Amino acid sequence: MRDRLRFAGLEPAQGEMLRNHRQQLERHVEIALRDLFQRFQTFPDAARYFQSERQVDRLHDLHSSHWGVLTDARFDSLYAERVKVLSDVESQMSLDPRWRLSGQAIVMEHVINGLIEEYWPKSLLPGAAKGRRKELSDLLTAFIRTAMVDAEIAVSLRFNEQRHQHHRALAEQRKGDVSRLDDVFGDVIRSLSRLDLTARVSGEMPDDWQDLAGALNGALEDFRTQLTQATEKSAASDALVAAVSRDANAFATQSRERSLSLAETAARLGDIVTSVKTTLDETRRLETAVQDTRQSAERSGAIVGEAISAMADIEASAEKIGQIIGVIDEIAFQTNLLALNAGIEAARAGDSGRGFAVVAQEVRALAQRSADAAREIKQLVNGTKTQVEAGVDRVNRTQDAIASIVRQVAGINDAVCSIARDSDEGSTGLVAVAADLGNIGRLVETDAQVAARTANAGADLHTVILELGETVRAFHVQHHAAAAPQRRAAVAQSATAAMPITYVDDEQRATRAIGYGA
For residue 306, with 0-12 CB atoms within 10 Å meaning exposed, 13-18 middle and 19 or more buried, which class applies? Answer: exposed
Average pLDDT for 105-122: 81
Rg (CA), the chain: 69
CA atoms within 13 A on the CB side of 273: 18
Average pLDDT for 350-371: 78
Top pLDDT among 242 and 416 is at 242
The per-residue pLDDT for range 246-272, each reduced to its tens digit, is 887 887 788 778 778 878 887 877 888
Average pLDDT for 25-35: 89
Q: Flag whether pLDDT at 492 surpasses 70.
A: no
Average pLDDT for 139-146: 77
Beta bridge partners of 196: 476
pLDDT at position 494 is 46
- State which amino acid sits at residue 26: E
How far is Cα 99 from Cα 47, in angstroms, rounded to an integer? Answer: 11
Average pLDDT for 385-396: 72
CB 508, CB 449: distance < 8 Å: no
Q: What would you measure as the largest C-alpha separation in the chain, in angstroms? A: 196
Q: Flag whether pLDDT at 50 surpasses 70.
A: yes
pLDDT at position 484 is 45
Assign 507 a pLDDT band (cuts: 50, 70, 90): very low
Top pLDDT among 429 and 453 is at 453
Domain boundaries, the chain: 2-184, 219-517
CB 461, CB 476: distance < 8 Å: no
Q: Flag whether pLDDT at 436 surpasses 50.
A: yes
The per-residue pLDDT for range 455-470, each reduced to its tens digit, is 788 778 778 777 777 7
Tell me which CATH code domain 2-184 carries: 1.10.490.10
pLDDT at position 284 is 75
Assign 518 a pLDDT band (cuts: 50, 70, 90): very low
Burial pattern 453-489, b for ≥16 Cβ within 10 A else e, equals: ebbbebbebbeebbebbeebbebbbeebeeeeeebee
- What is the SS3 assignment for 1? coil
pLDDT at position 34 is 92
State the DSSP code for 334: H
Alpha helices in 194-209 (DSSP H): none
Assign 170 a pLDDT band (cuts: 50, 70, 90): confident
- State which amino acid sits at residue 351: D
State the DSSP code for 196: B
Within 8 A by CB and 6+ apart from 462, the residues are 238, 241, 242, 245, 494, 495, 498
The per-residue pLDDT for range 437-449, each reduced to its tens digit, is 778 877 877 877 8
Handedness of CA 244, 245, 247, 248 (dihedral sign): positive
Average pLDDT for 316-333: 78
Average pLDDT for 228-241: 79
The per-residue pLDDT for range 52-79, each reduced to its tens digit, is 889 888 989 898 888 888 888 788 888 8
Length of the chain: 518
pLDDT at position 129 is 57
Top pLDDT among 487 and 362 is at 362
Average pLDDT for 23-29: 88
pLDDT at position 411 is 79
For residue 116, with 0-12 CB atoms within 10 Å meaning exposed, 13-18 middle and 19 or more buried, which class applies? Answer: exposed
Neighbours of 251 (CB within 10 A): 17
State the DSSP code for 74: -
State the DSSP code for 207: G
For residue 296, with 0-12 CB atoms within 10 Å meaning exposed, 13-18 middle and 19 or more buried, which class applies? Answer: middle
Mean pLDDT comparison of 198-202, 214-218, 378-382, highest-scoring range = 214-218
Average pLDDT for 386-403: 73
CA atoms within 13 A on the CB side of 74: 14
Average pLDDT, the chain: 76
CB 65, CB 12: distance < 8 Å: no
